[in-house]
Copies of this chain bind each other. A is one copy, B any other.
Amino acid sequence: MTKIAIIGSGFIGRAWAITFARAGFDVALADKAPGAPEAALAYIEGVLPDLAANDLLNGASPEAVRARLSAARSYAEALEGAVHAQENAPEDLALKQALYAELDAIAAPETVLASSTSAILPSRFTETLTHRERVCVCHPINPPYLIPAVEVVPAPWTSADTMTRAADLMRAAGQSPIVMKRELDGFVMNRMQGALLEEAFRLVADGYASVEDVDIGIREGLALRWSFMGPFETIDLNAPGGVADYVARYQQIYERISPDQWRRVDWAGPVLETVLAERRARLAHDALQERQVWRDRRLMALAAHKRKADKDIGA
């Protein structure tokens, strides 16, 4: 059975472990903190029945998926015979540099080393490695077993073979890889999220809309189509003659708006008081954790809905 090493078994690492084990891989979890892999396995045992109840385990039982997972006593043990290592250490450059020097020395040269980092470019922690050509980023949105998109990002020296193997592995694990042609700060998803959030904060800061109005505009408006089509297919279907017709008809609106958007408001400035007051009036600070459970249940139900709609209506 193909083996995957999970390096770092915190929230991202354990979610990756579920993703790979569900897809049939043999998964070994390793962590510097003693007892952490065992704690991750206990957490995973709590999640698997929920996934089974939503038919999100590819028909396997929770026990069968659990049997594919094990705790390793060291990075070396986890990496032994692994085709791919998924690293989930904290977002700290010096820490990543030291960690990759260590992993590069232990792992067989043909093992792909993939980082879950969202914010650090791969070139910054791989330049001096002996086998730097086998390192890339595979950045998920958490949890990857409910959100398929993963950014596969090369450093300038990452080999084409590494990129192909990483993307193929992600597909085999049931993910939807976004294969970037070269590295870029924020990758693809956080750049789009940032563009949207910047406008959201500006609209609230300038007093045009409330926090809830912005959320309504997305969750009861734009994101309904985006959640099964994406923005390009949305505009392709939004003018009788397709995307070229859309651009001819509507670009002028966006062209007029765009320059207004070339400025930031400080998210930590006065607008934060407005955002906090509105959010805490809707959801008490003490209820945040419970609401995260709600979010994951909704994500699970949405994943099940999308799979069914893909089959019944078409993807």
What residues make up the interface of A, taking CB atoms closer than 8 Å to B?
118-119, 141, 146-149, 151, 176-182, 184-186, 188-200, 203, 207-209, 211-233, 235-237, 240-244, 247-248, 250-251, 253-258, 260-264, 266-268, 272, 275-276, 278-280, 283, 285, 288, 291-292, 294-295, 297-299, 301-303, 305, 309, 312-314
Say whether, besides A191-B203, A258-B198, A186 and B253 are in contact (CB < 8 Å): yes
Chain B residue at minimum C-beta to C-beta distance from A245 = B288
Task: Choose one: B185, B199, B220; the contact of A191 (CB below 8 Å).
Answer: B199
Copies of this chain present: 2
Contact of B314 with A309 in the complex, beta carbons under 8 Å: no
Contact of B227 with A214 in the complex, beta carbons under 8 Å: no
Distance, CA A229 to CA B227, complexed state (A): 12
Contact of A254 with B295 in the complex, beta carbons under 8 Å: no
Say whether, besides A258-B264, A288-B236, A302-B227, A208 and B194 are in contact (CB < 8 Å): no
Return A151 CB to nearest CB of chain B, in Å. 8
Contact of B209 with A199 in the complex, beta carbons under 8 Å: no
Instruction: Please give, as numbers and ranges, the residues of chain B lying within 8 Å of A149 by CB-CB distance.
Output: 216-217, 220-222
Chain B residue at minimum C-beta to C-beta distance from A226 = B223
Chain B residue at minimum C-beta to C-beta distance from A120 = B253
Task: Choose one: B147, B194, B236, B240; the contact of A253 (CB below 8 Å).
Answer: B194
Instruction: Please give, as numbers and ranges, the residues of chain B lying within 8 Å of A209 by CB-CB distance.
Output: 178, 180-181, 188
Contact of B254 with A198 in the complex, beta carbons under 8 Å: yes
Task: Choose one: B224, B262, B272; the contact of A302 (CB below 8 Å).
Answer: B224
Say whether, besides A188-B217, A220-B149, A295 and B225 are in contact (CB < 8 Å): yes
Instruction: Please give, as numbers and ranges, the residues of chain B lying within 8 Å of A257 by CB-CB distance.
Output: 185-186, 190-191, 194
Chain B residue at minimum C-beta to C-beta distance from A203 = B188
Contact of A226 with B237 in the complex, beta carbons under 8 Å: no
Distance, CA A193 to CA B195, complexed state (A): 10
